Chains A and B, each alone.
Chain A
Amino acid sequence: MNMDVQEYLPFLVPLLLLQLVLMLTALVMIIRQEHFKYLNKVVWIIIVLVLNIIGPILYFVLERR
């Protein structure tokens, strides 16, 4: 199994990096934002942390207009 992970690194590293960029950007924006249209700061942070890709996308669509 260890062997397999090595083999898949060319996929996993960029995938993780891209998801991280998405998540971190959303988190920074949430922390800086004062007023939310839906939900509140804590809930948005949880959503972004738990649902990867979909969480940040939801945040950008619903809160950033």
Chain B
Amino acid sequence: MNQMLPLFKKEFIESWRNFKFAAILIVFAIIGILSPFTALILPDILGMVMDDSGITVEIPESTTLDSYMQFFSNMNQMGLVIFVIVFGSILTHEFSRNTLVNLVTKGLKRTNVIVVKALFLMLVWTIGYALSALVAYMYTIYYWDEPVDHLVLAFAMTWVYGLFIISLILLASTLFTNSFIAVLFSVVAAVIVMLMAGIHPDAAAYLPQYLIGNNVGLLAGEIDPEDVLGSMAITAVLSLVFILLAIIRFKKVPMN
């Protein structure tokens, strides 16, 4: 424990100094504002385009669901991608600059390195995502003010998926050590594999990918909360397993 605190502090100061922490908060806040905004102006824009081309169609006003649909599509695509790009190098840059060698030879437990990195990424993801969700939520209740069911669970789905992505980043980092590009590609590859496995309808409901594909479905009542729990549990377990594997692998990584 007394090794973890300074390490954690080091991570925090590092990401504060290179502005990555603040940058991710700003980007997530922008996503939070942009999503309800897009939902709000989309009917107007469509209306203008229709007027120009001389088509008269009644365009329905946007609803709370549209706002959340925008939020989840932005977050699940842009938000997660930017998160991986900004924080994907958290472990690999230690290898490429050899900054861990001194610490490890002086008695820093290797397990602690991974645990602290994982905790730190989880903290950044949680704060950023909570900020984004909160901003989107506030704008949405202000502009539409219609209650929706299971909102917290819908938000939690993407959050758990983010934790899964974090564990993937760490596992890939310990496998490829100093190549950030390899980490990026392995995360992308894992997502593609899950998408392909998801083609099979029986498997789809148990894959992590199910979580970020069905936020709006849950809000709209197309699926029940119980349907989500299976894939949520599997995602959480997978994340833990990946982090454990990352620790085991990291203990064997040669450092010089």
Contact = CB atoms under 8 A, between A and B. Distances in A.
Interface residues of B, number: 23
Given A15-B30, A15-B33, A60 B44 contact: no
Contacts, number: 55
Given A11-B37, A57-B82, A57-B86, A29 B30 contact: no
Contact of B30 (A4, A8, A26, A53): A53
Interface in B6-35: 18-20, 22-23, 26-27, 29-30, 33-34
Given A8-B41, A22-B23, A60 B30 contact: no
Contacts of B23: 22, 25, 56-57, 60
Contact of A57 (B85, B89, B139): B85
B18 A65 contact: yes
Chain B CB within 10 A, most for which of A4, A10, A29, A61: A61
A39 interface: no
Nearest to A14: B33
Interface in B169-194: none
B19 A29 contact: yes
Interface of B: 18-20, 22-23, 26-27, 29-30, 33-34, 36-37, 40-41, 44, 82, 85-86, 89, 93, 97, 139
A41 B1 CA distance: 42
Nearest to A11: B37
Majority SS at the chain B contact face: helix
Contacts of B86: 57, 60-61
A11 B22 CA distance: 20
A21 interface: yes
A8 B41 CA distance: 9
B19 A60 contact: yes
Interface of A: 4, 8, 10-11, 14-15, 18-19, 21-22, 25-26, 29, 53, 56-57, 60-61, 64-65
Nearest to A52: B30
A26 B27 CA distance: 14
Interface of A is mostly: helix
A11 B89 CA distance: 33
Contacts of B82: 57
Instruction: Give the top 10 A-B pairs by smallest Cβ distance, nearest first.
Output: A64-B18, A11-B37, A18-B26, A65-B93, A22-B26, A60-B23, A18-B30, A15-B33, A60-B19, A14-B33
Contacts of B40: 8, 11
B88 to A, nearest CB: 9
B28 to A, nearest CB: 10
